[in-house]
Structure 1
Amino acid sequence: MRNIHSDSSIKNRKLLQQIVFVAAFFLFSFQAAIAQKQHISVKDSLDGAFDLSDYIIYAHGFIVVPTIITEPALGNIGGAVVPVFLKKRPPVVDENGKKRFINPDITGGIGMYTGNKSWMAGGFRSATLVKPKILYRVMAGYGDMNLSFYENNLPNGSDQEFKLNFKSTIFYTQWLKQFRNAKWSAGVQYLFLNSKIKLPDINLPPPFVKPGDIKSTVSQFGGAIQFDGRDNIFTPDKGIRLQSDFFWSDDAIGSDYDAWRVNLSAIGYYPLTKKLIGGLRVEGEQAFGSPPFYLRPGINLRGIPAARYQGKTSIVTEAELRWDLYRRWSLMGYGGLASAFNNWDQAFAKPVVYSYGTGFRYLLARKFKLRMGIDVARGNEDWAYYIVFGSNWLR
């Protein structure tokens, strides 16, 4: 965990104990009720180990997922309850005679509260229109969030932190049409974000905050193309996922900002041996025009707080190894390098951001290849820890 004052550590520890208790009560009380009603076993039929596959399949598509939030930018500790409805889809045979596997439809909500008094409520849906071969995502929410942003590279060589409060309403949707080869898809996306920002009580406001940012509306329309050849969507053992997408923001579509944003992402997994899985992630983001400061490209890397490093361009690389050590238990090792900058002629001129760490995974649901565990990471400045459901690279 990050180094903080002792009184804050005591408060966070007490909050963590409360969250763990409530999460355990929610999860196991619900599981017990369903299991008693339908006589669902939580032991796997192959190895007799603890396994939630049958519980997920036979709980009429409903599961409550209590989650511990460990993002440093949100106070290091918090909790969320995520009720999720699952609808399993059988594979279909396309007109070309090939079998097409369909991801489960997922509909859910989220309620979140963290150690720095941030909270959020919302809902989401990810599903497939099978006959027209359309993948779609929809999410909406409202949050009252306390986040830190930084003015980097001051004349004295240091960075200054500014704590801001955001009251925001968000809506996002994406619709992708699958090609004849269903691993390929392309389509459109849209983002709406309305925010009211409360500045810290200091004499000088943050230099990166413009008057128009205090109360603003972002409306962005864009497109995306994707290739997804992973063997499963939760914890892949092999395969790659490639995506390129863009957003366009303009007053013509109701936005207070004129800007473009382009994103590139490549994530791949490869079995080096029978029990050693290697993974590699390379992602880049480029902004053009005048986006709001809170949507500038940033660094998404374990061990680095969100929005700690920003610029008009960000590049992130990360590699990991998963060693399936014993039965369902796995050991993780990973490391990454990243940079955020404003001009390409100054690329990597700033100190390169790095992180490294280790963790473990447990095969929680064998039939879904779903693993869960904990990662501990060290960044440039501090330690952080993460509760990982599925994969840290879920996209």
Structure 2
Amino acid sequence: MLIRHALCAPLCVNAALSSEADKRSRRTRRASAVAAALLAMSAHAHAASKFIDPEDGAFDLSDLLLTHRGVLPVPTLITEPAVGYGLGLGLLYFTMPKKSADAPDDAKAPPNVTGLGGFATGTHSWGAGLMHFHTWDDDHIRYLGVVGKVGLHLNYYGIQNRPRAYQLDGIALVQQVLFRIGNSHWYVGPRYTFFDARTRFSGTIPQGIREFEKDQRVAKAGVVVDYDTRDNMFYPSSGTYAELEADLARGGLGSSTNFQEQTARGYQWIPLSKSWVLGLRADTGFSQGNIPFFAQPYVSLRGVSDAKFQDSNQLTAEAEIRWNVTPRWALLGFGGVGKAYGRLHSFSEAPTAFGFGTGFRYLIARKLGLSMGIDVAHGPGQNAFYVQVGSAWR
């Protein structure tokens, strides 16, 4: 009996040790599984946190765009009557400018933005472009650069206000640098615009176009003066933005023809209450000299085909009322009128353009003040809708 117990003792001890090892192994596997689950949940929560604003728990892209090097895709369903129906896609990349040590605590500079995009429509119109906006020295220097190529099928309406189809192809370039005057809200600087264009009409040249040239270069340089007190550059709730520009197009700058152009535009946002904002817009353009027909000032309104109302000069006014239903969602209504006049028609004889409609915005990136939404508009004999990033007023 003692011998049998002696012989069995090691086996029993080994069995006990083996049982204890199995228990530890099972506990280890359970702990590993729990850790893996917690890690997966943490990773999921971290990924989800990129799209959730901790301030209100709403869907938001601020952290993704600013801290995770994200790109904001802007798909667009094009319904612009001038070029027809089509699709477009823009990619916007945001970075915040560096703040100097001696900058005031409440100083806010707009984000740097790089954009790449393109579009195509059913009329075989297309375009592609690259833009960059950058600020330095606590928003004391602002740079804007744009380069693009287009192939557009458009209509020229002329004296009889009847559409005549033409094709406009070309490469465009814009370069601008503005410098802040002291610590004021005023900026001043040069702008250069170049457009190497080729135009083709199907048939005879419409009445009202003087000295038509198939290949023309528009190259103009000028001075830009800006005044900016907006609380946000994308979709303001208060403040004023105004811009004056005077340009000369000359052969020495690369232009095929000589002309002068002056433009002035101003936007005012007035907070009527915590939930209501009134926006007012005035836009003017004047030209003199041998300006190409496609480069003339024109009325730009939601619901109105671009370049349909075009002449040597244009005047436009528009108003917009916004109801901030929640801190994220807003509804708006808008309406405006305009006239193009000068060479084809006198001011009193020129037809009046009008457009009105409604829309909505969602604050998709709170830290940037960036909203996205849709506007639906009605104009002379047509309807249109637009995918908007921020304000429709540029």
TM value normalised by structure 2: 0.83
Report deviation, 1:182: 4.4
- Larger Rg computed on CA atoms: 2
Q: Which stretches in structure 2 are left out of the alignment for 5+ residues?
A: 1-42
Instruction: Write out aligned runs for 1:222-261 (5 A).
Output: 222-261=222-261
Question: Which residue in the other structure is 2:86 paired with?
Answer: 78
Question: Which residue in the other structure is 2:145 paired with?
Answer: 138
Report deviation, 1:108: 2.4
**What SS does the aligned partner of 1:309 have?**
coil
Matched, 1:52 2:54: no
Question: Which residue in the other structure is 1:118 paired with?
Answer: 125
Instruction: Write out aligned runs for 1:311-326 (5 A).
Output: 311-326=311-326
Report deviation, 1:212: 4.3
More displaced 10-residue stretch of structure 1: 376-385 or 59-68: 59-68
**What SS does the aligned partner of 2:66 have?**
helix
CA distance in 2, matches of 1:36, 1:302: 41
- Cα–Cα, structure 1 residues 327 and 192, in superposed 2: closer, same or farther, change >3 Å? closer
4+ long deviations beyond 6 Å:
34-37
**What SS does the aligned partner of 1:294 have?**
helix
Match of 2:190 among 188, 191, 202: 188
- Cα–Cα, structure 1 residues 171 and 37, in superposed 2: closer, same or farther, change >3 Å? farther
Question: Which residue in the other structure is 1:385 paired with?
Answer: 385
TM value normalised by structure 1: 0.83
Letter in 1 for 2:194: F
Report deviation, 1:229: 0.3
* Aligned residues with identical type, % of pairs: 30
Report deviation, 1:44: 2.2
Matched, 1:359 2:355: no
Question: Which residue in the other structure is 2:20 paired with?
Answer: none
**What SS does the aligned partner of 1:84 have?**
strand
- Cα–Cα, structure 1 residues 99 and 44, in superposed 2: closer, same or farther, change >3 Å? closer
Question: Which residue in the other structure is 1:148 paired with?
Answer: 155
- Cα–Cα, structure 1 residues 108 and 347, in superposed 2: closer, same or farther, change >3 Å? same
Letter in 2 for 1:289: G
CA distance in 1, matches of 2:212, 2:369: 47
| CA deviation string 1:16-58 (max 9, x = no partner) | xxxxxxxxxxxxxxxxxx9898554322223222222222222
Letter in 2 for 1:347: F
Letter in 2 for 1:186: V
Letter in 2 for 1:74: V
CA distance in 1, matches of 2:317, 2:121: 29
More displaced 10-residue stretch of structure 1: 345-354 or 227-236: 345-354
- Cα–Cα, structure 1 residues 247 and 93, in superposed 2: closer, same or farther, change >3 Å? farther
Q: Which stretches in structure 1 are left out of the alignment for 5+ residues?
A: 1-33
Question: Which residue in the other structure is 1:102 paired with?
Answer: 109
**What SS does the aligned partner of 1:74 have?**
coil
| CA deviation string 1:201-227 (max 9, x = no partner) | x3x222244554311111111111111
More displaced 10-residue stretch of structure 1: 322-331 or 205-214: 205-214
| CA deviation string 1:229-265 (max 9, x = no partner) | 0000111000001110011011232211110000011
**What SS does the aligned partner of 1:180 have?**
coil
| CA deviation string 1:305-349 (max 9, x = no partner) | 001011111000000000112452221111111111016993243
Report deviation, 1:128: 1.5
| CA deviation string 1:45-81 (max 9, x = no partner) | 2322222222222231533332332211110x22222
Contact between 1:339 and 1:348, CA under 8 Å: does it hold in 2?
A: no
Match of 1:162 among 158, 161, 164: 164
- Cα–Cα, structure 1 residues 67 and 187, in superposed 2: closer, same or farther, change >3 Å? same
Report deviation, 1:193: 0.7
| CA deviation string 1:145-188 (max 9, x = no partner) | 11111123x3xxxx211111112011111111111124211010
Match of 2:97 among 89, 94, 102: 89
CA distance in 1, matches of 2:81, 2:128: 20
Matched, 1:65 2:65: no
CA distance in 2, matches of 1:345, 1:209: 13
- Cα–Cα, structure 1 residues 60 and 98, in superposed 2: closer, same or farther, change >3 Å? closer
Instruction: Write out aligned runs for 1:252-291 (5 A).
Output: 252-291=252-291
Contact between 1:304 and 1:380, CA under 8 Å: does it hold in 2?
A: yes
Corresponding residue pairs, total: 352
Contact between 2:187 and 2:225, CA under 8 Å: does it hold in 1?
A: yes
- Cα–Cα, structure 1 residues 185 and 354, in superposed 2: closer, same or farther, change >3 Å? same
CA distance in 2, matches of 1:321, 1:161: 33
- Cα–Cα, structure 1 residues 129 and 213, in superposed 2: closer, same or farther, change >3 Å? farther
